[in-house]
Chains A and B, each alone.
Chain A
Amino acid sequence: MAAEVSTDVLVVGAGGAGMYAAISAARNGADVVLVDKSLISRGGATIMAQMTVAAAVGEQEPDHWTHHLRDTLEAGRGLCNEELAAVLCEEAPVRIREMEEWKVGWAREGNHLKQVMAPGHQVERCVYVDFLNTGPAVAKTLRTQLGRADNLRRAGELTVTDIIVDGDQVVGAVGLDVETGEPVRIEANAVILAAGGLTRLYQRNSASVNMGGDSYALALRAGAELIDMEFVQFFPIGHLAPRMVGMDPIMWDPFRYKLGGRLLNADGKEFVQNYGHAETTDKYTAPRDVVSFAILQEVAAGRGSPAGGAFLSFKHIPEDELRSAFGPVIDRLAENGIDLRERSVEVAPIAHYHMGGIRVNTRMETQVSGLYAAGEAVGGANGANRLSGNAISEAFVFGERAGRFAAGAAAGRDREWSDAAAESAVERIRASRDISATDYGPSLAGLLVDLQEIMWRDVGLLRTEGGLAAALRRIREMRREIGDRPSESDHRFALSMQDWFDLWNGLLAAETIVLGAIKRTESRGAHQRDDFPRTDPGQAQNLITRLEGDALCVETTALVKNPIAVEPLEANR
Chain B
Amino acid sequence: MTQETAMLRVQRGGPDNEPTFDEFAVPYREGMSVLDALIWVRANTDSSLAIRYSCTNANTCKECMVKVDGKTVYACTARLGREPVTVGPLTNKRLLRDLVTDIVPPKEKLSLLLGRE
Contacts and interface: CB of A to CB of B under 8 A. Distances in A.
Contacts of B60: 47-48, 135-136, 248
A504 B30 CA distance: 34
B110 A184 contact: yes
Contact of B47 (A42, A207, A209, A488): A488
A243 B61 contact: no
B58 A248 contact: yes
Nearest to B99: A493
Given A184-B114, A437-B48, A243 B29 contact: yes
Given A42-B62, A243-B31, A246-B77, A492 B108 contact: no
B91 interface: no
A174 to B, nearest CB: 14
A367 B109 CA distance: 33
B71 interface: no
B59 A47 contact: no
Interface in A487-506: 488, 490, 492-493, 495-496, 499
A148 B59 CA distance: 27
B20 interface: no
Nearest to A488: B47
Interface stretch (A21-29, A154-162, A355-363): A154-162
Contact of A246 (B54, B59, B100, B102): B59
Among A136, A245, A248, A445, chain B packs the most CB atoms within 10 A around the CB of A245
B114 to A, nearest CB: 5
Interface in B82-117: 96-98, 100, 102-105, 107-114
B43 A446 contact: yes
A154 B107 contact: yes
B14 A39 contact: no
Nearest to B16: A492
Contacts, number: 134
Contacts of B112: 153, 155
A48 B58 CA distance: 7
A292 to B, nearest CB: 20
Interface string A18-38: 000000000000000101001
Interface string A470-501: 00000000000000000010101101100100
* Range for the number of chain B residues in contact with chain A: 35 or more
A243 B30 CA distance: 7
Interface in A42-81: 42-43, 47-48
B33 interface: yes
Interface string A124-168: 000000000001100000000001000001111110000000000
A35 B102 CA distance: 17
B37 to A, nearest CB: 12
Nearest to B41: A445
Given A39-B108, A156-B110, A242 B56 contact: no
A492 B96 contact: yes
A136 B33 CA distance: 22
B28 to A, nearest CB: 12
Contacts of A548: none
Nearest to B114: A4
B108 A490 contact: no
A93 interface: no
Nearest to A499: B47
A329 interface: no
Interface of A: 4-5, 33, 35, 38-40, 42-43, 47-48, 135-136, 147, 153-158, 177, 179, 184, 207-210, 242-249, 336, 437, 440, 443-446, 448-449, 488, 490, 492-493, 495-496, 499
Interface of B: 14, 29-33, 42-44, 47-48, 50-51, 53-63, 74, 76-77, 79, 96-98, 100, 102-105, 107-114
